[in-house]
Structure formats: C-alpha cells, structure tokens
Amino acid sequence: MERVYLCLAHMSGREEEYIHEAFVTNWVVPLGPNVNAFEQDLLNFVESAPSQQMQIVDGITAWPRAGWAQGSRKQVVALSSGTAAVHLALIAVGVEPGDEVICQSFTFCASAHPITYLGAKPVFVDSEAETWNMDPALLEAAIKDRIAKTDKKPKAIVPVYLYGMPAKLDEIMAVADRYGIPVIEDSAEGLGSRYRGRVCGTFGRYGVLSFNGNKMITTSGGGALVCPDEEAKREVMFYATQAREAYPYYQHERIGYNYRMSNICAGIGRGQMTVLDEHIAHHKMLAEVYKQEFAGVEGIEFHDNPGPEYDSNFWLNTIVIDPQVRVKGEELAYAEAVKGAVGGAAGVTHAGGSAHTECEPNRNVEALRMALDAAGIESRPLWKPMHLQPCYRTAPAYVNGVSEALFKRGLCLPSGPMVTAEQARHIASAIKSSIK
C-alpha cells in the first residue's frame, strides 16, 4: 500500500480553468475577478443554513444550503493566510501594545503568535474535556482575575475549533457578552463545521478561515476573514493592502501589511469550493469508519461529537490512548533526537539538542506513531498546548490539566479526501496490531 498522508488537498478539475482565465486576462495580482468571486462563494457558504431537517446523502448527515442569514451584513475578505486573518482581526478590534488577549491554549501557534506581533500579551485558557476547546467556566474565571490584576478587561477572546470540533459556543458567547469582549473565532480547522446548524466562524465579531494545503479546501496557502459588515471589510482591506491614504503618491499614516490573496490563488479556491461539500462528507465518512473500527477496543477512544448540537467537519480524526495500553516498540520511543520535520510537516526546523522536552506524548503514543510511520502511515501527536511552549513560559495561563493530558495521550490519524475507507480500516488494523 502506498504511503498514507495525514491530510492532503484534492483538486476538483475546475482550478485550471480559473487560473488560465487569470493569465489570459492578465489578472496576476492580489486583486481581480477570482478574488471577488471566491469571496462571494465563501460568503454564500458561511451564510448557508439548515432547514428544519437534515439531509442524509450516501449515509452522511448534511445540512441543506439555504439562507438563515438572508439579509445578513456579513462580509468576507480573502487573505494570504489564516495567520494574517487572525492578525487583522486583532487590529480590527483595537488590540494595541500592552493589551491582553485571551487565547485558547490547546491550539496551533498561529492562534497566539499574532497577539505578540502587536506587542500585546496572550492569556491562555485551558480546555474542557468534551469538545477539547476553551472551557467557558475557566474563561470567565480568567476574565475576572485579569480585571482584578490589571484593572482592565482583555481586548478579545480567541476560541478555536480544534480539529474541526465546535466549541461550547452558547456558553462562550454568553461570557463574552456579559463582559462586552469581542470574540474572534479561529475556525481555521473548522470550515464547514456547525453548531446548532449554524456555520462556525459566524458567531463572533470576526471569523478566521484557512486554506493551507492540508485544510478542508486549499488555495495552496491562503485564508479569509469573516467580517461583521461592509465597513469592517473595507477597514480590513485597508490594512491588508499596506494602509495607503488617498493621495496621488504613497502616504502612510498607519502601519499596514501585504496580506491580500492573489487572483491566481483565488482561482484555485473557486475550483475548490465546488468540492467543499464533498470533502466535508468524505471526512465525516472516515470518522464513521474510525469510530466503528475502534468501538470496543479497550484503551483507545475516538473523539466524536459530544452531542446533537455539534456537527464537526472532522478535519482531522483523532484518538486518545490510555497510558496503560502497551504498544510494541515502546523501548525505542525517544531513543534518539528527531532530525528535521516529522512526516509531511513543512518548513525549516532547528535540530533539537535532546530527544526529550519537559512535556511530551507518552511513550506508548510515540511508539504507535513510529510503528505507523514504519508502515507508511503518517500520524501526528495532538497540538502541544501554548501554555507549555517555551516561548510563552511567562504568559498568564488558567489551566485545569485537560489539554496537557490530551496532548500526552492523543494522536491524529490520516483524514484527507485522498484517504479511502479501505485505507482507514487498514490504518485502524495497523493500530490494533501494534498493541501488545
């Protein structure tokens, strides 16, 4: 069997048509017809809503595409990355040097790093055990404590939809409303996920989307920001295009950024939008396969929707492994330091000086990752919580141990549109055969 990767993009066949059109019309710039059309496609999607009943398509639950938000003032800005979208959303809600921003700890670093770009300070809040996302009770405790300690409210709240799972949005939004703090939803992993039938990324003041090569759809990179209205969109676009004033020469009175999506990348996005529903259904199908395969396997738990109001896109399917489970090859786990990026991870890495860090996945989890890798199957540990990252060692953190425990026990499994049901069953079989 060929190597199975965690999550790779799948082209629809329409991408080349839109890219060719951009070259023919000479729109090879960070604006143009593809950008405008992609933004409209995204807006149509995020404003789609369920009817009274869900549809069942090929055994997969899907919400019909009709307009809960008809007449809504939401707008979408296509950008160069999801990280850029977080950065611009923070600017849009007024985050300045010295401010504090509450951020979910259990997440990828792009949720937190833009806070530091602005000279602000992240305040990390741990997760609850059902969705693995920001704990609403801990969130309120953190807000009260920051007000008591600093005599001012945090400027924003950044919950994340980890691996596509919606957060406890009723409770989080109620806390945010109680204290008048804007919410920036990091829905980078949650495109197409819904909470109570409503698309994630539309609950807060701003919603962040990502189209990196491993996401639900891709533009080869790229992201987008869901904005509350046309005025907010124009201001975001002002900062995304170097913040130029209206003069016949370049006049800059504020610091701007080169964050707009190119017309070429947007062409890829337009093609990808034609298969987004298909991709979501495929990820959910894989989730069902994994869930069935691990049902009754002692010591392995598949992370599923915790209730009917949650409708995850299952961007990455994940399992947690009991520390008591013994895996073949545990004696070889962490035997030597990793050199370079693991699996399909992109980017340049520094060589670690040691095989160990202060907090790492359990030996049985690392042994299982190594066994799968040897079998040609890519897997990854869960995100290491931000409050445990050395670069944030001095940041305030309100923790309950949930994210640290999950990090030590969890593993992400191949989940992309290129993964077949047969391959998912093979992966589950490889995991079960690795257990002593």
Which are the catalytic amino acids? Answer: 215
**CA pair distance 348, 108, nearest whole angstrom:** 17
**CA pair distance 74, 76, nearest whole angstrom:** 7
The per-residue DSSP string of 247-297 comes to: SSS---SS---B-BPPHHHHHHHHHHHTTHHHHHHHHHHHHHHHHHHHTT-
**CA pair distance 398, 138, nearest whole angstrom:** 7
Alpha-carbon distances, residue 44 vs 52, 172, 323, 429 (angstroms): 19, 25, 45, 40
What is the spatial order of strands in the sheet that 223-227 belongs to? 75-79, 223-227, 206-210, 184-186
The per-residue DSSP string of 239-255 comes to: HHBT---SSSS---SS-
**CA pair distance 11, 72, nearest whole angstrom:** 31
- 152 phi and psi angles, rounded to 5 deg: -155, 160
User: Would you say 108 and 89 are in contact if contact means Cβ atoms under 8 Å apart?
Assistant: no
User: Would you say 184 and 86 are in contact if contact means Cβ atoms under 8 Å apart?
Assistant: yes
- Closest by CA to 64, choosing from 50, 76, 47, is 50
DSSP state of 127: B
**CA pair distance 170, 313, nearest whole angstrom:** 19
**CA pair distance 373, 325, nearest whole angstrom:** 19
Q: Which 3 state secondary structure label does DSSP give 62?
A: strand
Q: Which 3 state secondary structure label does DSSP give 348?
A: coil
Q: Which residue has the tokens 């792009």?
A: 110
Q: Which 3 state secondary structure label does DSSP give 412?
A: strand
